[in-house]
Every structure is written in structure tokens, then in C-alpha cells.
Amino acid sequence: MSDSPAEQVDVGALYRQYAPMVLRRVRQFVGTADAEEATHDVFLRALERSSSFRAESSPATWLYRLATNYCINRIRDQKRRRELLAEHGPMVFGRPERASNQEASVFLSELWSALDPELALIGTLYYVDGMTTQEIGRVVGCSDRTVANRLKTLAAKAREAAGGAS
Amino acid sequence: MKPPLTSEVFGRDGHLLELAVSRSLCEPVSAAFRRQIDAHVAECSACREVFEAIEEADAAVTLEPPAWLLKAAEGDGPAPATADRSGGQVIELAEGRRRRRWVAAAASLAVAATALFVLVPRGGAPTPEDADQLRRKSSALDLEVYVHDGERARLAADGTIVHEGDRAGFRIWPRRDGHLMIVGVDARQDVYLCYPQRAKGQSTTIKATASPIVVNEAVRFDDQLGAEHLFALICDEPFTLADLAPQLRRAASGATIQEDAPALRAGCVQKRLVLDKRATGGER
């Protein structure tokens, strides 16, 4: 199989079919004003990383992961994070309609800079999206056992950040 | 006996995953997957609301890939830096013309490919007074205009002071089916299209919704100062901007901010908002 993105992914078709979903997803993290730019960037990443598209994963799942990863990395930028917090407050990190998620995502946001990208992604999918470990494994591309172990690591880091025993 | 919940459809709380809803709406899924979604939506009002909200949000968005992305996909050079992107959804105004009119009656067709996205902020929630104004249920159509001045977005009302360069986004609440258009008329009586910008001056079909929907296009105000009239219309039959322009000009010229505009067209419902556009740096 060629590594040429152009030969593997029809980005135009992908964009027309999935851009509303990606736009909606990135709005949960970056705010509406930046969502358009972020959506474009996600599809650019899809183009650049088309080789990461696994045949067993649906395009929606793949783009969902790319979009979430993109947003996490964007938020990990400390300067950007401060701007977002100042502009939108903690709501930007989660789904405002679920109070418990707000608390979890605010807490996660505090940990963001200390987490590696995959751990942040798994934490987001678990605490913010409420996914099961099996589904996280499907999205991220690892076993649910790996996900469970990563969640234990995340919990330990959270305890440490909260001042408890690690 | 109910089938077991599968992790690809349901979250740990037993409700539908957003990803599952998204997949069911935008790509082919297995019959079993869809059956689980349908069955759960039928009996869970919370998930039904989420499902409908997602469905409406996605249906309200029509997106075309920006030209630079397609060029990059064709291997025609690397993607430009964010600041250099043009021809997509965001207009980057030319240096020295940052306050130019970017949507004018004569240019409205050319503007079709340069829609801006609406700027309804999560963090900039309307005040209770605003919300009360927004939730009027007396008419078949409500229009909400959000104005973003580069720093924050706010909900506009009649007489709200706006400035050249501000961006206006729209949220509508159609309570009847029909054909929709949002248009503006500035103080020079220039008529310009706000939505749908990609339809080349044609109205777009719209279905009644249970809640307001965000319009995925916005406009940036030019330097023509004075009263800026914004109209949203839903009509029984399809119509064009050209059909409406004379009535719009008359309505805009004959009405002050306090007066309501007369009905523009038979078989239509309309909402109008009149903003007070001033030079940048003036009163807010």
C-alpha cells in the first residue's frame, strides 16, 4: 500500500461527510470562535496521517480520535490554555450539560500539562465522554487491559496532584 | 430479554455515546448497531434530546473543504500557515482594507465561498434578559444575532451599538417549514446576503425545529455606518435575494429602530433587528 496520503484518503469526500461531526467535537474543547480553524487542522492531520487509519476502525472513530487528540494538544499549549481559561472558563473542557463531567474535566484540565498525550486522550474519553475501557481501546487502538492500566496511572497522577499518596 | 449493552454504543452510565450517535448519523453502521440506538432513543428521553440536538446541529452545517486543503490532498504543495489560508470559510481581509465591505448586494454571489462561521460562545452565555428575549414563542420564527468584536461575543437587540469590523452570527428558531433567507440592509440601502451564502442568492429549505439552531455562516460589518437592518424570512415558496431587494430597501428606509417593519412578502414570516453601526473606537 502506498504511503501517499492522496492515494489513501479522499479528504474532500471525507470532509463533506464528517466535517459537521468534527466541528461539533472540536467546539467542545476550543470554543466556537476557533472551531472552524481547528476543523480544518483536523482534516489536514487526517491527510498527513492517513497511514494511521486502521482498516478495522470506522472513519468517524478515526476522525473523532484525531479531533480529540488535536484539541488536547492545543490545550496542552500553556499559553493557549491560559487564554482559553480566561476566555471561557472551565466549561471549555467538557460537556456543560453534565455537571459531574464538568468537575472531572476541570480536574483533568489541571493535570493536562503533566500528562503524556495518550494518557490525556484516554482520560478525556473516560472521564469526559464516559466511554468504557473497551470502547476507548477501540478508539485509541490498544487493548482494554492497556486502557485500564493507563487509567490506573492517571488515577495515581490525579491523587498525586491532589496531594494524596501516589 | 434485552440484549446486553455494547461498549461501542453505550457509555459507562448506560447512555448513548456521542461517538455512537455521530456514527449512526454520518456513516453506515450495522443493523444491530442501529437497532440498539433506535431502541434506546425510543425509551430514553435524555438520549433522545441529545440525539435530536446532534442531528439538528449537523443538519444545520453545510461545509465545503477549503481550497488549500484540497490542493494539499492533491499533493499540490504543503498546506499554508493558518494566517495565510484564504478561499476557505474565513476571509482574511487584505492589508489596508480591513474595514471594507465584504458582503455587498452586487458581490453577494461571489461571497458564496467565503462564509464565516457563527460565533455563539459557550462562555458568553446570554443574560437572563437576553434569554427571555430569545425564548419568545409567539411567532413562527425567531432571530438571534450574536456580535463578536474580536474579544467577546454578545447577543444583540434592537438598537445595539456595533462597529465596523465586528462579526455577526445568527441563530434562528423556525417553527414552520418553508424557505429561509437571512439578509441585511445597510444605511446606504445596500442589500447583502447573510445566509445561505453558498446558495447563490436562493433561499434554502428549512424544517421546523424544537429548539433554536445555529446558522453556520456569519458576516463581517463594513464601514458604512448607521442603521444596519437584519431580516430573517421563512416563506411558503422558494425566493431569491433579487425578488426581495426592493421590498427590503423600502422596509429599511421607512422604519426607525423602534418601528416594526411591514410584512415584506405574502406567505412569509419575518423577524427584523436594527443595529446601530458606528466607527471603531466609539461607544460600545
Percent of chain B with pLDDT over 70: 68
B11 domain residue, yes or no: no
The 10s digit of each residue's pLDDT in B247-267 is 888 888 765 444 445 567 788
Domain count, chain A: 1
A1 domain residue, yes or no: no
Q: Pick the residue of A27, A50, A91, A131 with the most B CBs within 10 A to test the interface with B by mutation.
A: A131
* CB spacing of A64 vs B22 below 8 angstroms: yes
pLDDT over 70 at B161, yes or no: yes
Partner B contacted by A139 (CB < 8 A) = yes
> Are B134 and B40 members of one domain?
no
Which residues of chain A fall below pLDDT 70? 1-8, 54-56, 77-114, 161-166
* CB spacing of B54 vs A17 below 8 angstroms: no
Q: How far is it, in rounded angstroms, from Cα B225 to Cα A57?
A: 53
Q: Pick the residue of B6, B13, B18 with the most A CBs within 10 A to test the interface with A by mutation.
A: B18
The 10s digit of each residue's pLDDT in B48-58 is 888 888 888 87
> Are B184 and B253 members of one domain?
yes
> Are B235 and B215 members of one domain?
yes
Domain count, chain B: 3
**Greater confidence, B110 or B273?**
B273
A47 domain residue, yes or no: yes
Contacts of B89 in chain A (CB under 8 A): 36
The CATH number of the domain holding residue B225 is 2.60.40.3880
A35 domain residue, yes or no: yes
> Are B50 and B80 members of one domain?
no
> Are B74 and B43 members of one domain?
no
A95 domain residue, yes or no: yes
> Are B253 and B129 members of one domain?
yes
A105 domain residue, yes or no: yes
DSSP string, A128-160: IS---HHHHHHHHTS-HHHHHHHHHHHHHHHHH
B71 domain residue, yes or no: yes
Helix (H, G, I), strand (E, B) or coil at A162: coil
* CB spacing of B122 vs A58 below 8 angstroms: no
> Are B191 and B125 members of one domain?
yes
B95 domain residue, yes or no: no
Q: How far is it, in rounded angstroms, from Cα A10 to Cα A5?
A: 8
Q: How far is it, in rounded angstroms, from Cα B88 to Cα B91?
A: 7
B283 domain residue, yes or no: no
Q: Of the candidates A107, A11, A98, which has an alpha carbon nearest to the alpha carbon of residue A50? A: A11
> Are B130 and B79 members of one domain?
no
Determine which helix (DSSP H) or strand (DSSP E) holds B277, and give its type and residue range.
strand B268-278
Q: Which residue has the cell 482574511?
A: B92
> Are B79 and B143 members of one domain?
no
> Are B140 and B169 members of one domain?
yes
**What residue ranges in B116-244 does DSSP mark as E strands?**
141-148, 153-156, 161-163, 167-174, 178-185, 191-195, 204-206, 213-220, 226-235
In sequence order, the 6+-apart residues with CB closer than 8 A to the CB of B241 are B105, B108, B181, B183, B191, B193, B201, B202
A43 domain residue, yes or no: yes
A2 domain residue, yes or no: no
> Are B160 and B114 members of one domain?
yes
Question: Would you state the pLDDT for residue A72?
Answer: 82
* CB spacing of A61 vs B19 below 8 angstroms: yes
Instruction: Give the nearest chain A residue to B21 (CA atoms).
Output: A21
* CB spacing of A58 vs B23 below 8 angstroms: yes
> Are B129 and B264 members of one domain?
yes
* Domain ranges, residue B265: 110-278
ipTM of the complex: 0.76
The CATH number of the domain holding residue A41 is 1.20.140
Question: Would you state the pLDDT for residue B158?
Answer: 84
The 10s digit of each residue's pLDDT in B79-99 is 555 544 443 333 222 222 222
* Domain ranges, residue A79: 7-161
